[in-house]
Amino acid sequence: MTATTTEALRLEYRPFSVGLERPLGTAHGTIESRDGFLVRIVEATADGAGGDPTAGFGEATPLPGWTESSADCEAALERAKTSLRTGGPEAALEAVDGQVAARHGVTLALADFQATRTATPLYRYLGQGPMIARIPVNATIGDGTPTDTAADAARAVRSGFSCCKIKVGARSVTEDVARVRRVREAVGPDVELRVDANESWTYDDAASAIESLADLEVSLLEQPLPAGALEGHAALRGNGVRIALDEGLLEHGVDAICHAGAADAVVLKPMALGGVDVARRVAAWVTELGVAPIVTTTIDAVVARTGAVHLAAAIPDVPACGVATADLLAEDLGRDPVLLENGSAVVPQAKGLGVEGVWQE
Measured CA distances, 141 to 107, 146, 339 (Å): 30, 11, 19
3-state secondary structure of 320: coil
CA–CA distance, 62 with 99 (Å, rounded to integer): 9
3-state secondary structure of 193: strand
Identified catalytic residue from 81, 165, 167, 351: 167
Q: Are strands 339-341 and 344-346 parallel, antiparallel or unpaired?
A: antiparallel
CA–CA distance, 359 with 207 (Å, rounded to integer): 49
CA–CA distance, 123 with 144 (Å, rounded to integer): 35
Alpha helices (H) in the chain, listed in sequence order: 70-87, 89-95, 100-117, 122-127, 146-158, 173-187, 203-215, 230-236, 247-260, 270-273, 276-288, 302-313
Q: Are 225 and 232 in contact (CB under 8 A)?
A: yes
Nearest to 104 by CA among 7, 34, 39, 197: 39
CA–CA distance, 168 with 151 (Å, rounded to integer): 16
Identified catalytic residue from 81, 165, 269, 351: 269
Q: Are 36 and 73 in contact (CB under 8 A)?
A: yes
Q: Give the contacts of 319 (CB within 8 A, at least 6 positions apart).
A: 136, 265, 292, 293, 294
- Residue 167 catalytic? yes
CA–CA distance, 130 with 127 (Å, rounded to integer): 9
CA–CA distance, 50 with 239 (Å, rounded to integer): 64
Long-range contacts of 203-209, Cβ-Cβ distance < 8 Å, separation of 24 or more: 203/229, 203/232, 203/235, 203/236, 205/173, 206/232, 206/236, 207/236, 207/239, 208/173, 209/173, 209/176, 209/177
Q: Are 244 and 220 in contact (CB under 8 A)?
A: yes
Residues with active-site annotation: 167, 269
